[in-house]
Amino acid sequence: MSTTSASLPAPAEMNAAPKPPAAPLKWRSLLLQVVALALVLAAGGWLAHNAAQNLEARNIASGFGFLDDSAGFALSEGLVEYQAGDSYAKAFAAGLSNTVRAAVPAVLLASLLGFAAGLAQVSRHALVRLLASVYVDVVRNVPLLVQVLMWYFALTLSLPSPDQPMQWGEHVYLSKGGLAVAIPELGTGRIVSGLVVTLALLAAAWRFAARRGLAVAGALAVSAALWFALPQGWQQPTVGIFGVSGGATLSPEWLALVGALTVYAGAYCAEVVRAGVQAVPRAQWEAAHALGFTRTQTLARVIVPQALRVIVPPYTSLVMNTVKNSSLAVAIGYPDIVSVATTSLNQNGQAIECLSIIAGVYLMLNLVIAVVMGAVNTRVQLKER
């Protein structure tokens, strides 16, 4: 039976790849986002207008004009110089600096602790695995507020009085008044030159080093050593009648908050690291051992770089949660942004504005974290060749 040539597909049609479905128009997606944003802004505007009308009807002051008024309350500590007669705006700035002052060390220390505990959970030594697992299970099942209070009471009840502190050498004193350490006295010229040297070392490490992470860590270590190697002098803490004076003092409230956040977030970070390491296929371990790598070399050069693409996304959420959890400082009297806002609204009654400032501060901090960790996540993802 003969077949006509018209019924046979052409060779070009047989070899041609199927056409992909048409991609949705970008303008349609953009229009939907614009409409959603407009609806959110409209809802927010309506709520603000309604709240303003209700406050005016009850003769309650509204608006952020109170930020220029004198706050009238003092803060026990802080990086920003603040006096009781300063404005509310400066009080909120001091509270924000105290929040960052506690959150950043807690995140860094929790990352180190969590990384070590996470690797310990996949260790070949049974005792090391057991201790790491016990730490993670116990800490994760105790509420963070309870841990903050436990740290605070341990520091304020079990430590000696400020006039008879525990002493380590001539540079460190620990008592109920806090941790006092000696600090170098750096002049303006040394600070400027130190910043220049640090930036130069970081730029050289990033530009010329093959292993940029190790090179950057080394550059930071060298710059820190240079900063403290040749100080113009040391401000030593001294013990007096009323306690320790001089040097730099870390209050019991700061120590309790940072310690509790470190231990608590470190336990969750350990689980993130453990899951990331175990997500790497077992064949990668076997291939590295076949090449003669030791276990340490396998972790550093093969497993951890591949595990980072799994670790970074949940680690980003962990960092955000740690920053937000620092708001529990109000329970122990540490003057963070929440403590300042609470005191302010108790004085002026403008609760909506004070709570809006708190929400805006934590939103800003988390957006910065999201941008930075998003860049890190893009960096560690596998690149297709």
Q: Looking at residue 329, what DSSP letter applies?
A: G
What is the DSSP secondary-structure string of 9-25? PPHHHHHSPPPPPPPPP
Q: What are phi and psi of 172, to 5 degrees?
A: -135, 130
Mean pLDDT, residues 213-234 taken together: 65
Q: Is position 218 within any domain?
A: no
Name the packing angle between helices 88-120 and 337-348 (round to 10°).
150
With 50 as the cut, is the pLDDT of residue 372 above it?
Answer: yes
Query: What was the pLDDT predicted at 19?
Result: 55
Pair 138, 268: CB distance under 8 Å: no
Query: Model-level pTM greater than 0.85?
Result: no
Looking up tokens 């403290």 gives 228
With 60 as the cut, is the pLDDT of residue 303 above it?
Answer: yes
Summarised one tens digit per residue, pLDDT across range 97-120 is 999 999 999 999 999 999 999 999
Summarised one tens digit per residue, pLDDT across range 8-53 is 555 545 555 555 554 455 788 888 888 998 999 999 888 878 877 8
Query: What was the pLDDT predicted at 213?
Result: 63
Q: Is position 51 within any domain?
A: no
Q: Is position 12 within any domain?
A: no
Window from 58-62, 143-147, 373-377 with minimum mean pLDDT: 58-62
Mean pLDDT, residues 348-366 taken together: 90
Q: Is position 14 within any domain?
A: no
With 70 as the cut, is the pLDDT of residue 384 above it?
Answer: no
Domain count, the chain: 1
Q: Between 107 and 177, where is the model more confident?
A: 107
Summarised one tens digit per residue, pLDDT across range 43-72 is 988 887 887 788 777 777 777 888 888 888
Q: Within 10 A of 81 (CB to CB), how many other CB atoms are there?
A: 8
Pair 161, 296: CB distance under 8 Å: no
The Cα–Cα gap between 309 and 84 comes to 48
Pair 276, 263: CB distance under 8 Å: no
Query: What was the pLDDT predicted at 177?
Result: 81
Which amino acid is located at 79 in the chain? L
Q: Between 245 and 385, where is the model more confident?
A: 245
Q: Is position 100 within any domain?
A: yes
Give residues with Cβ within 8 angstroms of 179, minimum separation 6: 172, 173, 249, 250, 255
For residue 325, the enclosing domain spans 88-182+236-380
Q: What percent of the chain has a predicted confidence (pLDDT) above 90?
A: 39
Q: Is position 83 within any domain?
A: no
Query: What was the pLDDT predicted at 185?
Result: 67
Q: Is position 113 within any domain?
A: yes
What are the Cα distances from residue 96, in Å, to 318, 334, 335, 365, 385?
A: 20, 12, 9, 10, 45
With 90 as the cut, is the pLDDT of residue 159 above it?
Answer: no
SS3 239: strand
CA angle 144, 146, 148 (to 5 degrees): 70
With 50 as the cut, is the pLDDT of residue 1 above it?
Answer: no
Give the domain CATH number at 344. 1.10.3720.10
Pair 173, 166: CB distance under 8 Å: yes
- Categorize the per-residue pLDDT at 380 as very low, low, confident or very high, splitting at 50, 70 and 90: confident
Q: Is position 321 within any domain?
A: yes
With 70 as the cut, is the pLDDT of residue 216 above it?
Answer: no
Q: What percent of the chain has a predicted confidence (pLDDT) above 70?
A: 81
Query: What was the pLDDT predicted at 47?
Result: 83
